[in-house]
Structure 1
Amino acid sequence: MSKRLGLAAAFLSLLVSMLLIPAPAHAAVGLRVSGARIVEANGNAFVMRGVSHAHTWYTNQTSSFAAIKSLRANTVRVVLSGGRWPANGASDVANVVSLCRQNRLICVLENHDTTGYGEQSGAYTLDQAVTYWNSVRSALTGTEDFIVINIGNEPYGNNNVSAWTSATTSAISRMRSLGFQHLLMVDAPNWGQDWQFTMRDNAQAVFNADAQRNTVFSVHMYGVFDTAAEITAYLDAFRTAGLPLVIGEFGHNHSDGNPDEDTIMAQAQQRGVGYIGWSWSGNSGGVEYLDMVTNFNPSQLTSWGQRIFNGANGIGQTSREATYFGGGSTDTTPPTTPGTPSASNVTSGGASLTWAASTDSGGSGLAGYQVYREQGANDTLLGQSATNSITLTGLSASTQYQVYVRARDGANNLSGNSPTTTFTTSSGGGTGSCSAVGTVQSQWSTGYVVQVTVTNTGSVPINGWTVTFPVPDGHTIIGGWNTQMAISGQVATARSVSYNGPLAPGASANFGFQASRPGGDSALPGPYTCTPS
């Protein structure tokens, strides 16, 4: 063979070998996974601090996006449906995407149709969820910098959980084959709580099934995660594996137990793990206590809302806006000081305030205002607003309030305190009264769980409440939450605690308890008698 022919043969051999080498996976764009972290396109770490909003049932509540942002969240998880509930088509999803962009929020879009598959009638498969995402793909093209696709909410109940791994890997692969380049989020089975550890133990295989290696895992922390040990052990498992995890839902209470929200939030902050609380407003079916605001009003924070937005390791303290929207910029210029607030419509339990708006020259734009009661070293946050007005509720009758306002911009710079205004709430002339209604959340032959809703039925605020009720013979209360409970004979007394005692007229709070009973006994506690204090 001549030298020329030998070189040609060698070149041909090299070309064939190159063609046989598999092409590398398409590099992820926009938001993406880097080790155990989520990073933006520029490589900056992004830690989710947000809440869920039940858009599919409340499509008219579009102002919620701005309201959630005004309370300093950097993320909102948006509930969507492909038909199990009111469907959200491509045009509606495009509007949601626009609201996310306008309000500088990273949006996690989730398909709620899959909730409880295998256990709850009517639940969709993950494959059906992917079909839904494909139907709205036109609204999501080019949004990889600020949209995350949560393929299916809590995609398995407690039945046939072992199928989660193959169903999830198949859904991820199909999303990629359809051209989606977004950061994908996958929920755990067991109604999101993964108490059988199916997601934990199979996470690496699922992650590897993503050709872009751009999937983050989501665990929902409710009653299963009621101790610090359980929370830290689960988070440790993903940290050890070097896999990305977010706490995609959690609450301060639930019908299946009392989650340890303090540890959840503290550990998430310590580890740089994202969290998304459930939920903004509009809960029903016995879990109304998970509303963060009343009637979608950001100035009417519930005790849960106060905790997650303004408490230790809360959203207000730890959230940082995505750099895609300007967060982490060099803006250090605070807004101008707001004008003196003016009080009107003062009642026994509330007042309306308006003030001259602030301006912002730092380039981040005004994000909202905070209203404080001046009390020396312990000033109290009374409410927050996206505009230069607010209606305060839940105030005490015949009480003097001295208040001031601060403005905040998009870079979290705070203005100085406005001049103070003083007003005194009226006596109201009404009487305090309250009611209590018990609802059985779950029961079995030898026990049950009851939630009790306490409502201020009077015309003036109350500062606390006491509920008494008879317990049937042979029944034993073995635990309660959101209350101080005492038992005397067969009579139980439940008293309010600091965060759920004060109630404005018409407002409600909840407490709950678990009890045992003799097998086969169907009796239940009650009636419930409420006394205000």
Structure 2
Amino acid sequence: MKTRLSATAAALLALLVAVLAFGQPARAAAGFTVANGKLYDANGTEFIMRGVNHAHTWYPQQTSSFADVKALGANTVRVVLSSGDRWTRNTNADVANVISLCKANRLICVLEVHDTTGYGEQSGAITLARAVDYWISLADVLAGQEKYVIVNIGNEPYGNQNYGSWATDSATAVKRLRTAGLTHTIMVDAPNWGQDWSFTMRDNAASVFAADPARNTVFSIHMYGVFDTAAEISDYLGRFRAAGLPIVVGEFGFNHSDGDPDEDTILAYSQANGIGWLGWSWSGNGGGVEYLDLATSFNPASLTTWGQRLFNGPNGIRQTAREASVFGGTPPPTTPTAHPRPPPTTPPPGGGCTATYSVVNQWQGGFQGEVRVTAGASAITGWTTRWTFANGQSVTQSWNTTLTSSGAAVTARNVDHNGRLAAGASVSFGFIGGWTGSNAKPEVTCTAS
């Protein structure tokens, strides 16, 4: 597939500085748009990617894969293309056929140029500027497809060296695409083989977003060995959410040569927070990462362990994907064990805070919980919630909180980016838990600081 990180994650940088709030932009040629950190389709309906990556450029004969992925419930496919610099160029006619296959199978098409992978470290990798040249050469094919196509400028555009120009180069690439007349939503990948361990994308995403005159850019993080804990996943994604910047997990796996990604948290946190994701990859992996195939030999009837997890497991594609409304749409998935979210909490009349506990989803032996914290009539700078499980439940992972347990007693405190709340404002955190017998809802207390 591709080389991954050989270096360990660098120490955390300073907290992400506050960024301007971004309002709803003018709709771009009736295509996808971005507003307040969310992606909306041409009907103005929020769209959350739930899909897979497909290595089309290396397996162009596998055109049935689009129908197979759709039949398993996906709503999006990220398609690997080549500019011709490292692999055989995907021609205009071929790309037009890919778009046609996506539309025929009611899939949103994320098109990406793979030749940029690991630039600055990988021999033969091309610049983002060269990738833009390729996209401009496809302008006649892309025109009129804004409802169905998202343009991912270049895959993992820098390795672990010489990535300091990521922000400038990404902003320049976006502006060149706009000048050339492309009005599609643009997706920008992180450096460091896509995993951004240096936090270069995290700390510069606001400036790249602001450089897009259409304010129609989405950021993509790839989660492999760097993201092997719930804390790393929730902190990274949570900072984009807090900044009002759109983020998707453009690639991730359940295992990798550079470490063991925490795929359960990626799926659970994304579902709880409306973040899109695209698993790597449908089939055809080599180079020692064959275990990342979702299907054996492109056979949808022969899903691998990873494929079963992504398509059929908790918070997977079957359970959470919704078709884009531009295709007519399908209702959100429901199960007998799904629980509705609680109504908005009325702020307490004085200072302090209140908290409400809900079970967002439940399956045999496990569940996803959420606690919503609401400030009272005065602003608060931090909060602590506490509850005691009555039926032997336990918490196995959490996000957007620092959570500790002592027997049945649970304490959950704010993290750096979500402790300050204005009067009456709310924030939520989530967790995955286990249960046996019954799963009664505990009473939760909240203390403000």
SS of the counterpart of 1:246?
Answer: strand
Does 1:43 pair with 2:48? Answer: no
Query: 1:161 deviation in Å?
Result: 1.4
* Larger Rg computed on CA atoms: 1
Give 1:501's aligned residue.
Answer: none
Does 1:28 pair with 2:35? Answer: no
SS of the counterpart of 1:161?
Answer: coil
Give 1:146's aligned residue.
Answer: 148
**Paired residues of 1:281 and 1:291 also in contact (CA < 8 A):** yes
Give 2:65's aligned residue.
Answer: 64
**Paired residues of 1:323 and 1:329 also in contact (CA < 8 A):** no
Amino acid of the structure 2 residue aligned with 1:28: A
State the alpha-carbon separation in 1 of the partners of residues 225 and 138 from structure 2. Answer: 34
State the alpha-carbon separation in 2 of the partners of residues 329 and 192 from structure 1. Answer: 33
Q: What is the TM-score of this pair, normalised by structure 2? A: 0.68
Give 2:133's aligned residue.
Answer: 131
Give 1:268's aligned residue.
Answer: 270
Could you tell me which of 169, 184, 190 is aligned with 2:171? 169
Does 1:103 pair with 2:105? Answer: yes
State the alpha-carbon separation in 1 of the partners of residues 211 and 146 from structure 2. Answer: 20
State the alpha-carbon separation in 2 of the partners of residues 148 and 32 from structure 1. Answer: 10
- 1:130/1:26 CA distance change after superposition, 3 Å: farther
State the alpha-carbon separation in 1 of the partners of residues 331 and 238 from structure 2. Answer: 32
Could you tell me which of 312, 315, 319 is aligned with 1:313? 315
Note the alpha carbon deviations across 1:62-90, whole angstroms, 9 max, x for none: 00000000000000000000111121010
Query: 1:231 deviation in Å?
Result: 0.3
Q: How does 1:25-424 map to 2 (within 5 A)?
A: 27-29=27-29, 30-83=31-84, 84-328=86-330
Q: How does 1:391-470 map to 2 (within 5 A)?
A: none
State the alpha-carbon separation in 1 of the partners of residues 104 and 330 from structure 2. Answer: 18
State the alpha-carbon separation in 2 of the partners of residues 82 and 89 from structure 1. Answer: 9
Note the alpha carbon deviations across 1:30-64, whole angstroms, 9 max, x for none: 11101110001221100000000000000000000
State the alpha-carbon separation in 1 of the partners of residues 43 and 323 from structure 2. Answer: 14
State the alpha-carbon separation in 1 of the partners of residues 59 and 322 from structure 2. Answer: 27
Query: 1:208 deviation in Å?
Result: 0.3
State the alpha-carbon separation in 1 of the partners of residues 163 and 135 from structure 2. Answer: 23
**Paired residues of 1:114 and 1:155 also in contact (CA < 8 A):** yes
**Paired residues of 2:27 and 2:33 also in contact (CA < 8 A):** no
Note the alpha carbon deviations across 1:303-361, whole angstroms, 9 max, x for none: 0000000000000100000000111379x9xxxxxxxxxxxxxxxxxxxxxxxxxxxxx
State the alpha-carbon separation in 2 of the partners of residues 119 and 284 from structure 1. Answer: 20
Query: 1:135 deviation in Å?
Result: 1.1
State the alpha-carbon separation in 2 of the partners of residues 207 and 155 from structure 1. Answer: 17
SS of the counterpart of 1:56?
Answer: coil
CA RMSD, aligned part only?
A: 1.9
- 1:281/1:250 CA distance change after superposition, 3 Å: same
**Paired residues of 1:118 and 1:156 also in contact (CA < 8 A):** yes
State the alpha-carbon separation in 1 of the partners of residues 209 and 99 from structure 2. Answer: 26
Amino acid of the structure 2 residue aligned with 1:259: P
Query: 1:170 deviation in Å?
Result: 0.4
Amino acid of the structure 1 residue aligned with 2:312: N
State the alpha-carbon separation in 2 of the partners of residues 27 and 144 from structure 1. Answer: 11
Note the alpha carbon deviations across 1:367-387, whole angstroms, 9 max, x for none: xxxxxxxxxx99xxxxxxxxx
State the alpha-carbon separation in 2 of the partners of residues 301 and 183 from structure 1. Answer: 32
Q: How many residue pairs are counted as aligned between the two chains? A: 311
Amino acid of the structure 2 residue aligned with 1:76: V
SS of the counterpart of 1:203?
Answer: helix
Q: What is the TM-score of this pair, normalised by structure 1? A: 0.57
SS of the counterpart of 1:110?
Answer: strand
Amino acid of the structure 1 residue aligned with 2:38: R
Query: 1:91 deviation in Å?
Result: 0.4
State the alpha-carbon separation in 2 of the partners of residues 228 and 28 from structure 1. Answer: 36
**Paired residues of 2:117 and 2:159 also in contact (CA < 8 A):** yes
State the alpha-carbon separation in 2 of the partners of residues 61 and 237 from structure 1. Answer: 38
Query: 1:198 deviation in Å?
Result: 0.3
SS of the counterpart of 1:148?
Answer: strand
State the alpha-carbon separation in 1 of the partners of residues 309 and 27 from structure 2. Answer: 39
Query: 1:185 deviation in Å?
Result: 0.1
Query: 1:136 deviation in Å?
Result: 1.4
Query: 1:183 deviation in Å?
Result: 0.4
State the alpha-carbon separation in 1 of the partners of residues 159 and 330 from structure 2. Answer: 40
Query: 1:27 deviation in Å?
Result: 4.4
State the alpha-carbon separation in 2 of the partners of residues 26 and 76 from structure 1. Answer: 26
Give 2:436's aligned residue.
Answer: none
State the alpha-carbon separation in 1 of the partners of residues 202 and 235 from structure 2. Answer: 11
State the alpha-carbon separation in 2 of the partners of residues 46 and 328 from structure 1. Answer: 12
Gaps of 5+ in 1: 1-24, 333-376, 379-533
State the alpha-carbon separation in 2 of the partners of residues 32 and 305 from structure 1. Answer: 30
State the alpha-carbon separation in 1 of the partners of residues 304 and 26 from structure 2. Answer: 45
Amino acid of the structure 1 residue aligned with 2:62: Q
For CA contacts below 8 A with separation 6 or more, give which structure has more relative contact order: 2
Amino acid of the structure 2 residue aligned with 1:105: L
**Paired residues of 2:322 and 2:331 also in contact (CA < 8 A):** no
